[in-house]
Amino acid sequence: MSRLRSKILPVLAVSSLPSSHLTSSPDIAWTRVGSGKDHLLSELERLYWDGVKAELENIVRTLKVWQQPEYTQVDIQDEHDNHIHGFDTFLDQVSQEARAHAIRYGELREKQTNKFNWFPNSNSFNAKSARDALIDSVADRIAQQVSDGIKSDVRREIKSVTKLNGIEQRAWMLLQAAGFLDMEKLIEHRAHPERLGSSKRPAIPQLTLSSVNSDGMPSFEPLLCMRKQCMKVVKGSMFVHDKPDSNPGVVCEECYHNHYYGREEYTKAYKHCILAETITPEMSRKICNCVALRQDENDGNPKSLFPIDNPDQHEGTGTAGREKCKLLRIGDTIAIAKYHGLLNSVGAKPRTLKETEKAALKAKASEKGTGMPRKRYSAANPRHGDSDFEEEEELRQTPEAQGNNRRLSAFKTVQQITSHGADVSAAGEAAGDKDIPLFFRGYTEKYPYANVPMALRVGPLIIENGVSHTKGGARISLRDMPVFQESFRLQTIPERELAIGSGSDRLVWQRKRQAADRKRYKAVMKQVVGVPFGGNGTLSHEQELSVVHDLLAACEQSFDDPSLATSDQIKLLNSALEPALKKLKGLFGSRLGAYLSSISERLLDKSVKLAWSATNNNCQTFCTSLIDKNIFGPLVNGEAPGSSQGASPLYTMSFVCPDEGYRKSRGVRTKFDVPFGLTEEYLLRFHFGRHDEADIIDTYQEYWYDWGAFGSTLYRYQDLYPWDCTEAYGRYPTKCGDCNLSKHVWAFPFDSWSMSSHHLSRDRHMYAPALTDKTLTAVGQDATPSSWMRNRLTVLSAMSTLHRAATAMAHSLKFQKATAWLHKNPSNSLLDPSLSRVRLGGIHRAQPCSHYFEAGVYSNYFIAPWAPLTRRQQVKAYELQRDGRTNLPDIQLASRNRRFARHTELSETNYLDFHGQNTLIQIDDTTRNDPPCHHHVGMHKVDGCQSDSHFAPTSKTPHHICASGCGNATRDAANCASGETIRAAEMATAAADAAQAAAASASSGGGGGGGGGSSCGGTSSCGGGSSCGGGGSSCGGSC
């Protein structure tokens, strides 16, 4: 793979970047409005309400379609499901006491690991004084009580959130989904310019059969777009045309959008494994030489040996002893073909036989060189580069040298950047990331977002820079309306857009809006969830319900009567929408004023750059600079500026994170740490130059269709939300497939909200046929108008579920206090600012190899080891791995090493609960807990190289000051999540001192009980392993 790496190393020359713009727009004359100081805010507000009017028309037209006879009977179960659950992990991830517990737990485990390294024959790894043990025990009990209190409070608030029925509820969901006060970052899906060298950072290609050898073994090659003018390698989704005519049979996504969009004869297909459609019964019999499997079927037809149902029958050929059957190695053929496809994409040639033999000898010699006797616990003795911390030797100090208040050196390198104009280079850290395969790790972009077109959405407004012919500044236009049912031709869309020049006076301009094709997006990043139609009384429920009734009344108007003149239709439509529009202005006009005032101030601030620059002010930097962290930083219930009256709370929930918090160094430590979410992980690809892949939805479908080779997703909801929501390490009992929609989307709240918005930007042509739940299919032979409506209702129900729970969280006083630490100024806290990004994370995934750069090593990176098996055996192997991760009590130490740092198998230790017991046990031949051997599919090598990407919360605070872990160095209870925490900690200290004075022997006697006194008790709905209280699996399963 070094040959591919050598082709990727050349770094993009900045001089090749365009100097003035990234997005083309027509050269249409602008009309001057006036100076920004005098006109920007009013023009923004005027354009905003014009956009809201168009949003209302879109909703009314949708409701009118849904009330037609053929749609009135369409119904989905999720619309009526009031069981909102699955958010326990999110509550613990963002709550202060739970984070403090995670820190203490991680520190204890790290100390025990280091102590075992120094004293491998000792049976006592957790000796501590009675005073420290009691303090930790009380702190853990407090953390558990606070966690349980928050969860109970949120569940109580959920019951008070308004839920309507029937068409009223659907109208309410549409108003919610419109996101009148939502903010999002939108990454446009656009072909990466060839001049920027995108071919040097290739995506894994789609394969096709090229030939069949004499022994029946197939040969594969990358699939090319069949449009003669294109002929590029297909690297993402494709569109297939199976009718016998002159149109190309398979076209890439770019050609489809440019030349064939909307043509019914083309159907979308995800990138997929082609083994099942390639290996015929005759080929399988040629490939397999196993004597015991050569009988014919009863009907005389040759017996098909592929896919494989019983791998044990293929272990030997009968003539060559135990030689592995070639059918079992068919997955390696796919892996090699994909790798050669990557080589071809960058112009490299495969190794010759001589070069391969030379490399094998070198690897064997290197293996012998490192074949020294294994230490007691090799995971505790990683080589340089394996550790997630920057100065490993500092962490390998003797136990006596380890101070309780020493901060990890990794946190000393967090870069402080301003909110605009500063571009942070992640190249150094990314290049050393051992979670990345070698051939991708060698190339990292200094400016990963340099040519990524991104815009900021504020309600119906789109603000973006880097657009040509926009006075060198920013363009402000209206978004494409969400697709709730159809892409309607709206009659109330305003025919104008704005621009603000980059000059010192920031002049405002306007021009006629040019009609354009609907935009495609790679990803959507939800930033702020607005208050309107939250349903818990923040706004007047009577007025919100009145808006619903006004829209339903508007549906009765005949504004779409084709016999009416267009002018009469528009007049009738305007009169029908006016009552609802007027009430919306009264409902959230004050909050809108706070939003637009903040953004206009940023646009007028001369220190905020408007002109696009690939290196100094790319689209990502510009969008970030428009969001005031002081206003939109709190997780829930942000406070409006003092000048805004009646605008508090300003919003429901915010995913805006401080700029100081982004770090590349990470690695799993314990089950209480917060893994990367799906969107964060997807965007990580940009740092490694991966710009030419499918959008985020299709990319995560490739796990099931291409890497997993299942041919479809496995469980309900995955056709739309393509992840397995099963939680690892006993954190939640419900597995994917048994879950409801709430459990599924709250596994990744930030990603679910973002992906739901992304879904609403797509029409039905952008979906492949749904194979798991065919009632949701948008295209193909099973598609019907009602199935497409169910597709949309499922997305809207997911957003409604997210809204209901988030609104309940925002109304919980306990939750508000527990999350106040997330927006504290980093200079006033000892906690690393990266911790504030826990709000973007998700569950620990039990889904095997679900992190993109985690998919095993060698051939397992390209294809799952169960690929040659029958569907039944594939699911069995998958669930064996998934359920195994579910039942693990904690992260195994060997799995915490970087996945591609080295690939030796290490002994694993089954950790006991963090409940007053040792969490390390000695390793010898009698205590080994190696995973079961599944040699026929290589399953024993998969989990051994896994490590969830995450931010490890390893900073800490002196426990005698604030057991909540807020980092506050004062005793001001107002600055803590709960004043009771401080008082309880002080009482614990006093009690511990009294205990020591009463019994001198208590110190040695209490050594084994450190920090484990609390117990989950099973009171929360987690059913075991709540993230607080240290109970581990001792919670049992009492839901």
| DSSP codes joined into one string, 706-745 | IIS--SS--STTTTTS-S--PBSTTS-SPPTTS--HHHHH
What is the Cα–Cα distance from 956 to 710, expressed in whole angstroms? 44
Asked whether 447 and 25 are in contact (CB, 8 A), the reply is no
- At 111, is the pLDDT very low, low, confident or very high (cuts 50, 70, 90)? confident
Strands (E), 503-557: 507-512, 521-529
Residue type, 469: H
Asked whether 251 and 227 are in contact (CB, 8 A), the reply is yes
Q: How many Cα neighbours within 13 Å face the side chain of 833?
A: 21
Q: CA nearest 132: which of 104, 153, 112?
A: 104
| DSSP codes joined into one string, 601-634 | HHHH-TTS--S-BTTTB-HHHHHHHTS-HHHH-S
β-pairing, 454-458 vs 461-465, is antiparallel
Asked whether 945 and 856 are in contact (CB, 8 A), the reply is yes
Residue type, 259: H
Weakest-pLDDT range from 523-532, 542-551, 776-785? 776-785
What is the Cα–Cα distance from 555 to 613, expressed in whole angstroms? 47
Cβ atoms within 10 Å of 175's Cβ, excluding its own: 21
- At 998, is the pLDDT very low, low, confident or very high (cuts 50, 70, 90)? low
DSSP state of 869: B
What is the Cα–Cα distance from 381 to 386, expressed in whole angstroms? 9
Q: At what angle do helices 785-811 and 749-760 cross, to 10 degrees?
A: 140
pLDDT at 281 over 80: yes
- Sequence-distant (6+) residues with CB within 8 A of 405 are 956, 958
920 or 740: which leads in pLDDT: 740
What is the Cα–Cα distance from 85 to 742, expressed in whole angstroms? 6
- Tell me which H or E stretch contains 813: helix 813-818
How confident is the model at residue 537, as a pLDDT?
76
pLDDT at 409 over 60: no
Question: What integer is the mean pLDDT of 712-739?
Answer: 96
For 687, phi and psi rounded to 5 degrees? Answer: -70, -20
For 800, phi and psi rounded to 5 degrees? Answer: -65, -40
86 or 405: which leads in pLDDT: 86
What angle is formed at CA 401 by the lines to CA 396 and CA 402, rounded to 5 degrees? 70
* Rounded CA Rg of the chain: 30
pLDDT at 41 over 90: yes
What angle is formed at CA 432 by the lines to CA 431 and CA 438, rounded to 5 degrees? 70
What is the Cα–Cα distance from 177 to 456, expressed in whole angstroms? 17
Weakest-pLDDT range from 133-142, 410-419, 733-742? 410-419
| DSSP codes joined into one string, 113-149 | HHHHHH-TT-S------HHHHHHHHHHHHHHHHHHHH
Which pair of structure tokens corresponds to residue 174?
């549409």
pLDDT at 497 over 50: yes
Question: What integer is the mean pLDDT of 317-338?
Answer: 78
Look at residue 362 and give its three-state secondary structure. Answer: helix
- Cα–Cα distance list, 86 to 83, 801, 838 (Å): 10, 11, 17
What is the Cα–Cα distance from 1012 to 1028, expressed in whole angstroms? 11
Asked whether 708 and 864 are in contact (CB, 8 A), the reply is yes
pLDDT at 508 over 90: yes
What is the Cα–Cα distance from 1031 to 927, expressed in whole angstroms? 23
Q: CA nearest 952: which of 207, 110, 27?
A: 110
Cβ atoms within 10 Å of 505's Cβ, excluding its own: 12
- At 692, is the pLDDT very low, low, confident or very high (cuts 50, 70, 90)? confident
What is the Cα–Cα distance from 632 to 469, expressed in whole angstroms? 31
Asked whether 66 and 1001 are in contact (CB, 8 A), the reply is no
| DSSP codes joined into one string, 293-315 | G-PPPTTSSPPP--SBS-GGGGS
Residue type, 636: V
How confident is the model at residue 901, as a pLDDT?
44
Which pair of structure tokens corresponds to residue 533?
């139609």
| DSSP codes joined into one string, 169-198 | HHHHHHHHHH-TT-EEEEEE--PPPGGGTG
Q: What is the pLDDT of residues 166-193, one digit of tens each?
A: 999 999 999 999 999 999 999 999 876 6
How confident is the model at residue 450, as a pLDDT?
84
- Bridge partners, residue 613, by sequence: 617
Q: What is the pLDDT of residues 208-260, one digit of tens each?
A: 999 999 989 999 999 999 999 999 999 999 999 988 788 899 999 999 999 99
Place of tokens 């039990």: 846
Q: CA nearest 337: which of 250, 252, 275?
A: 275
- Max CA-CA distance within the chain? 97
- Tell me which H or E stretch contains 754: helix 749-760
How confident is the model at residue 1014, as a pLDDT?
35
β-pairing, 183-188 vs 521-529, is antiparallel
Q: What is the pLDDT of residues 595-632, one digit of tens each?
A: 999 999 999 999 999 999 988 899 999 999 999 999 99
- At 320, is the pLDDT very low, low, confident or very high (cuts 50, 70, 90)? low
pLDDT at 53 over 60: yes
Cβ atoms within 10 Å of 40's Cβ, excluding its own: 24
Burial class (CB in 10 A: 0-12, 13-18, 19+), 48: buried
How confident is the model at residue 993, as a pLDDT?
57
- Sequence-distant (6+) residues with CB within 8 A of 601 are 628
For the stretch 506-518, what's the b/e string if a residue is b when 16 or more beta carbons lie within 10 angstroms of its beta carbon?
bbbbbbeeeeeee
DSSP state of 415: P
Q: How many Cα neighbours within 13 Å face the side chain of 478?
A: 29
Asked whether 132 and 1009 are in contact (CB, 8 A), the reply is no
- Sequence-distant (6+) residues with CB within 8 A of 431 are 441, 442, 444
Residue type, 13: A
- At 977, is the pLDDT very low, low, confident or very high (cuts 50, 70, 90)? very low
What is the Cα–Cα distance from 409 to 395, expressed in whole angstroms? 9
For 277, phi and psi rounded to 5 degrees? Answer: -90, -5
Q: CA nearest 518: which of 754, 182, 761, 694?
A: 761
What is the Cα–Cα distance from 207 to 331, expressed in whole angstroms? 13
221 or 378: which leads in pLDDT: 221
How confident is the model at residue 130, as a pLDDT?
74
Question: What integer is the mean pLDDT of 810-823?
Answer: 92
How confident is the model at residue 100, as a pLDDT?
87
Residue type, 444: T
pLDDT at 953 over 50: no
What is the Cα–Cα distance from 273 to 415, expressed in whole angstroms? 42
Look at residue 590 and give its three-state secondary structure. Answer: helix
How confident is the model at residue 50, as a pLDDT?
97
How confident is the model at residue 937, as a pLDDT?
44
Strands (E), 880-998: 950-951
- Cα–Cα distance list, 940 to 729, 759, 858, 932, 934 (Å): 18, 37, 14, 7, 6
β-pairing, 454-458 vs 266-269, is unpaired
How confident is the model at residue 586, as a pLDDT?
95
Q: How many Cα neighbours within 13 Å face the side chain of 140?
A: 29
Q: How many Cα neighbours within 13 Å face the side chain of 878?
A: 24
Whether the pTM exceeds 0.85: the reply is no
pLDDT at 924 over 60: no
- Sequence-distant (6+) residues with CB within 8 A of 1019 are 148
Question: What integer is the mean pLDDT of 140-149?
Answer: 88
- At 443, is the pLDDT very low, low, confident or very high (cuts 50, 70, 90)? low
Question: What integer is the mean pLDDT of 430-434?
Answer: 40
